[in-house]
Structure formats: C-alpha cells, structure tokens
Structure 1
Amino acid sequence: MSALNDTPVETLSFEAARDELVKVVAELEQGAPTLEQSLALWERGEALAARCEEWLLGAKRRLEAARAAASDSAGGAES
C-alpha cells in the first residue's frame, strides 16, 4: 500500500494535506520497498509539508489583519 495520492497538492485543504502527510511519514518510517518509491514518498511529503505551511501562514496573516482591524476600530471609538 502506498500513501501516494494523485490529487494535486495545491488543491488540498490544510486538513487533507496534514492527514496525507501523516500517512506518508508513517510509510517512510516503515520503509518503502524500493528507493524509487521512497524518493516519491519523500517528494510528496515535502510538497505536503509546504502546503500545510502555506495554509498556516495564510491563517496567521488573516489573524493579524483581524487584530489590526479590531485595534483600529477600538482606537477610532475612543476619539
């Protein structure tokens, strides 16, 4: 069984990318039968990790923007 999925990484939600990454890591830890399979798993895992990071950075930016907006509206109410 291979954790490799044909779904393009850039279309995955954070949760889907994270779940698949967990499967890829588990399979790598068990040892893939061939070097080629190990490399494919590694490459997919790297792409999945990057996708997760992309989602997390986007969420951080949204939180910062929401905090800034809340701070601006709170500051405007005091004037």
Structure 2
Amino acid sequence: MTEPPLPHESADDGRARLSYEDARDELIQIVQRLELGGLPLEEALRLWERGEELARVCQAWLDGARARLEAYRAPEQSAANDVSAPGSAEEHDHGR
C-alpha cells in the first residue's frame, strides 16, 4: 500500500516545475518540521525525500542562473581582454 501524497505534492509526486522561490520556501518548511522532531519515522522519511527533491530543484535553478550570468559576462570579458590600452592592468602586471 502506498502512502497518499502530502498536501503540497501533486499527483505526479511534485515533479512539476516549481519556481526557485516556491521550492526554497517548501524546503524551509520541511526542514523546520524535521527539526521539531516527534514525527513518525515514515512521515519523516517522506519529508526528507521531498526535501532532497526540492534541494535538487533549487540547485538546478541556481546552476541555470549561474550559466546565464556566465554566458552574459563571457562576451564582455572577451572584449575587455582583446583591447589592451596603455596603462591597463595587464600592462601594469608585466612591469612588475
């Protein structure tokens, strides 16, 4: 017999795409419930599993954000490295 989903879970076990903020907020609530203790083992395990899933969702959002920022910054850094003006930091470093 399988356990019914927790109220915050959808029929697909919460695999639907959550926003970063929604996943983070739900994860915070789960951590707080687990820290309070006193839960039956099975419920604690289900919460922990959901927390792991939410942590992966949050990490995926953060990884995606980092990739977007790096992609945005890469052309700027490349252009800055291509132009070496007199007195630039690069020229200054070679004089040491």
Query: Is the contact between residue 10 and residue 51 of structure 1 (CA under 8 Å) also seen in structure 2?
Result: no
Return closer, same or farther for 1:16/1:9 CA change in 2, 3 Å cut-off. Answer: farther
Separation in structure 1 between the aligned mates of residue 33 and residue 7 of structure 2, nearest angstrom: 10
Q: What is the percentage of aligned positions where both structures have the same residue?
A: 47
Two-structure CA RMSD over aligned residues (Å):
2.1
Separation in structure 2 between the aligned mates of residue 41 and residue 32 of structure 1, nearest angstrom: 13
Q: Which has the higher contact order (CA 8 A, sep 6+)?
A: 1
Hey, what does 1:51 align to over in structure 2?
A: 57
Unaligned 5+ residue runs, structure 2?
1-5, 84-96
CA offset at residue 69 of structure 1? Answer: 2.5
Please state whether the residue corresponding to 1:11 is helix, strand or coil: coil
Q: TM-score, normalised by structure 2?
A: 0.67
1:5 aligns with 2:14: no
Hey, what does 2:34 align to over in structure 1?
A: 28
Separation in structure 2 between the aligned mates of residue 63 and residue 72 of structure 1, nearest angstrom: 14
